């Protein structure tokens, strides 16, 4: 029996090893000679020792490496704005990122000034490692998100600490390797003004052969259990499989394999790739994961492979594809109705926009058996890549196209679909992007997403080999586009409405506070406003908070006067 372990860069493996050694006698099960592949390079010795403690046979295959950004412009801009007092809240997500950010800022600003500015704002930490790194710098931590330290725990901790006062705060978010769109979307729903501060990024290892061997072993059924400790390991494993044209083979192999996930964020990434984890540990720590895996992996494997064997006996022949299976008109129409129903259900439950878009990508993949699917959303006259069938953490939510740029921009400009059965890159409208290997694919279908007669985005579908897109396929994708367009438009309108409501309420409070200051100090309206602005800058508070303080003071004076009467 074989096990693959994907491990987290920067984890405290010494602590995990101690936990596991202490719990060894308590463990009911054992790895019993399973081959364990750890996707790690920096702490290979510690991981190997931990695996051997539970009777495993470890092998190391690095899955990622941390590399600096091409430019530190965004970090330097953050430093300038921090010194100018333009932030009320800073969310730190990793200890490694905090230290890297301080090194970057120290190359341009005085370290003592940066630390002093950080002491003047509210600091939130995504878990104990970030909190410990901040305390090493002598900085007070206002909020620490508990396990499993996902964006949901961060938002819940902020809610518990600040409540309604979150509204209107100016926040900076230190990112770790990639953007977390769910966290940013949740901050927006709380009317928090956020700024991203990337400090490093994840890259594939220089030598990809160990990862290629891992893909082959899973696809050939030589692996029994796969353990993932970070979402980026999922991304990189599938990226390498894509390079090998083995994505489907990897998926088929994983369906016969027990999938163990360290926690919710990793499980969500697995789900985005069409893999449902079979187990999460009681605590998101590697020691607990290996301990509990040793107990349950053999049973889970037996159950899963038995189920796979039974399914194989009753499944369609291997050459019958999804499109073949729904080729009959009645079956095809029923499948389209099911998809429309599922999309409507997702929209009715008010899922986050990214979740809806990823679900749409999954639907399109099922319908067309495509090799690539992108969804671009129109934002401020630019098309932003928001969802993809294949993992692209470095460009999702970052890649922007101008209207008229490339085939996608042409479709957005003319609001007409484009279907190219082969030789897409030779089309005069085509534009190459170095970060997207899909640019070399043969077939290309691009459909506008419309709502109320206006453009809200574009759906792109691609095939590696020539593919003739049928009228039914184009019509179905267009229908999906109409549904997605309504959802995107509703999300945009709700965001604008919430923002306007918050601005209106803030303006009312500020106007009332100005009136009180004019009366009490016998000053003009402009002087009262400047007085509030000065207090806002000096106290690092928003104008709304200053206005609320003025109004509260008035209420207290009235209450005291009433008691004297």
Mean per-residue pLDDT, 105-125 = 95
125-163: per-residue pLDDT in tens? Answer: 998 889 999 999 999 999 999 988 888 999 999 999 998
Strand order in the sheet with 382-388: 400-402, 382-388, 372-379, 454-463, 443-451, 418-420
CA angle, corner 318, sides to 316 and 319, nearest 5? Answer: 105
Residue 292 is predicted with a pLDDT of 83
Tokens 């918050």 correspond to 502
- Residue 104 above 90 pLDDT? yes
Delineate the domains of the chain, giving CATH numbers in brackets. 2-64+207-314 (3.40.50.10090), 67-203 (3.40.50.10090), 322-494 (3.30.450.40), 496-564 (1.10.10.10)
494-522: per-residue pLDDT in tens? Answer: 656 666 777 788 888 899 999 999 998 89
Round to whole Å and give the CA distance between 187 and 260: 30
Residue 24 is predicted with a pLDDT of 41
- Greater confidence (146 vs 352) lies with 146
Residue 132 is predicted with a pLDDT of 93
- Greater confidence (295 vs 248) lies with 248
527-559: per-residue pLDDT in tens? Answer: 888 898 888 888 888 888 898 898 988 888 888
Residue 491 is predicted with a pLDDT of 64
Residue 493 is predicted with a pLDDT of 65
Residue 22 is predicted with a pLDDT of 42
Mean per-residue pLDDT, 83-106 = 94
- Residue 21 above 50 pLDDT? no
- Residue 332 above 50 pLDDT? no
Q: What percent of the chain has pLDDT over 90?
A: 21
Residue 360 is predicted with a pLDDT of 81
Q: What percent of the chain has pLDDT over 70?
A: 84
Kindly state the helix (H) or strand (E) to which residue 90 belongs, with its residue range.
strand 89-92
Mean per-residue pLDDT, 465-471 = 83
Mean pLDDT, the chain, integer: 81
Residue 496 is predicted with a pLDDT of 62
Round to whole Å and give the CA distance between 341 and 339: 5
DSSP, res 437: G
Residues contacting 325, CB < 8 A, separation 6+: 316, 331
pTM of the model: 0.54
Out of 95-104, 308-317, 360-369, the most confident range is 95-104
Out of 52-56, 121-125, 145-149, 389-393, the most confident range is 121-125
Kindly state the helix (H) or strand (E) to which residue 151 belongs, with its residue range.
helix 151-162
Q: Which of 259-273, 334-348, 376-390 has the lowest mean pLDDT?
A: 334-348
- Residue 105 above 80 pLDDT? yes
Backbone torsion region of residue 138, taken as left when φ is above 0, otherwise alpha when ψ lies between -120 and 50, otherwise beta: left
- Greater confidence (208 vs 325) lies with 208
Residue 2 is predicted with a pLDDT of 53
- Residue 345 above 70 pLDDT? no
Q: Which of 161-175, 339-353, 536-550 has the lowest mean pLDDT?
A: 339-353
Residue 162 is predicted with a pLDDT of 92
- Residue 350 above 80 pLDDT? no
Asked if 298 and 1 count as a contact pair (C-beta separation under 8 A), the reply is yes
Residues contacting 242, CB < 8 A, separation 6+: 390, 437
- Residue 329 above 80 pLDDT? no
Residue 235 is predicted with a pLDDT of 83
Find, among 523, 529, 526, the residue nearest to 507 by Cα: 529
- 3-state SS, 358-421, equals HHHHHHHHHHHCCCEEEEEEEECCEEEEEEECCCCCCCCCCCEEECCCHHHHHHHHHCCCEEEC
Measured over the CA atoms of residue 125, residue 126, residue 128 and residue 133, the dihedral's sign is negative
Round to whole Å and give the CA distance between 227 and 295: 14
- Residue 462 above 80 pLDDT? yes
Mean per-residue pLDDT, 466-476 = 82
Residue 379 is predicted with a pLDDT of 83
Mean per-residue pLDDT, 33-45 = 75
Tokens 């769109």 correspond to 181
258-286: per-residue pLDDT in tens? Answer: 888 888 888 888 888 889 998 888 888 87
197-247: per-residue pLDDT in tens? Answer: 988 878 888 888 989 999 898 888 888 888 888 888 888 888 888 888 888
């Amino acid at each position: 029996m074989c096990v693959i372990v994907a491990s987290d860069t920067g984890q405290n493996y010494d602590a995990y090893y101690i936990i596991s050694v202490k719990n060894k006698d308590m463990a009911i099960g054992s790895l019993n000679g399973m081959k364990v592949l750890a996707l790690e390079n920096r702490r290979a010795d510690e991981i190997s020792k931990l695996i051997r403690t539970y009777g495993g046979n470890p092998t190391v295959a690095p899955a990622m490496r941390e590399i600096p950004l091409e430019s530190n412009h965004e970090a330097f801009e953050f430093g300038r704005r921090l010194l100018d007092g333009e932030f009320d809240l800073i969310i730190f997500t990793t200890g490694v990122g905090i230290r890297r950010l301080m090194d970057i800022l120290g190359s341009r600003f005085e370290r003592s000034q940066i630390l002093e500015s950080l002491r003047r704002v509210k600091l939130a930490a995504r878990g104990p490692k970030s909190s410990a790194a901040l305390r090493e710098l002598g900085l007070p931590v206002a909020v620490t998100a508990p396990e499993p330290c996902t964006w949901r725990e961060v938002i819940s901790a902020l809610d518990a600490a600040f409540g309604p006062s979150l509204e209107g705060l100016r926040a900076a978010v230190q990112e770790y390797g990639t953007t977390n769109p769910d966290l940013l979307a949740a901050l927006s729903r709380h009317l928090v003004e956020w700024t991203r501060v990337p400090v490093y990024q994840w890259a594939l290892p220089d030598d990809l052969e160990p990862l290629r061997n891992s893909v082959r072993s899973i696809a050939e059924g030589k692996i029994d259990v796969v353990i993932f400790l970070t979402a980026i390991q999922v991304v990189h494993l599938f990226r390498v499989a894509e390079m090998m044209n083995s994505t489907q083979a990897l998926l088929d192999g994983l369906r016969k394999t027990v999938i163990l996930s360290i926690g919710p964020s990793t499980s969500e990434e697995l789900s985005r790739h069409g893999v449902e984890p079979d187990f999460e540990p009681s605590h998101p720590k590697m020691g607990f994961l290996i301990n509990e895996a040793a107990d349950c992996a053999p049973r889970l494997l037996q159950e899963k492979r038995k189920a796979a064997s039974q399914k194989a006996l009753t499944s369609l022949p291997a050459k019958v594809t999804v499109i073949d299976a729904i080729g009959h008109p009645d079956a095809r129409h029923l499948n389209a109705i099911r998809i429309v129903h599922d999309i409507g259900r997702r929209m009715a439950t008010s899922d986050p926009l990214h979740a809806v878009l990823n679900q749409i990508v999954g639907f399109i993949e099922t319908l067309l058996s495509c090799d690539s699917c992108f969804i671009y959303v129109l934002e401020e006259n630019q098309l932003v890549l928001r969802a993809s069938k294949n993992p692209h953490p470095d460009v999702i939510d970052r890649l922007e196209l101008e209207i008229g740029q490339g085939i996608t921009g042409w479709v957005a400009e003319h609001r007409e679909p484009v279907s190219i059965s082969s030789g897409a890159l030779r089309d005069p409208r085509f534009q190459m992007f170095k970060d997207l290997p899909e640019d070399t694919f043969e077939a290309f279908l691009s459909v506008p997403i419309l709502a109320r007669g206006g453009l809200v985005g574009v759906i792109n579908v691609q095939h590696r080999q020539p593919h003739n897109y049928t009228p039914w396929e184009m019509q179905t994708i267009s229908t999906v586009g109409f549904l997605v367009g309504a959802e995107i438009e509703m999300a945009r309108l709700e965001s604008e409405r919430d923002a306007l409501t918050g601005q209106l309420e803030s303006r009312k409070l500020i106007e009332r506070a100005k009136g009180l200051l004019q009366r009490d100090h016998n000053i003009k309206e402009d002087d009262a406003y400047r007085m509030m602005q000065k207090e806002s800058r000096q106290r690092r508070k928003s104008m709304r908070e200053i206005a609320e303080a003025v109004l509260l003071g008035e209420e207290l004076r009235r209450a005291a006067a009433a008691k004297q009467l």
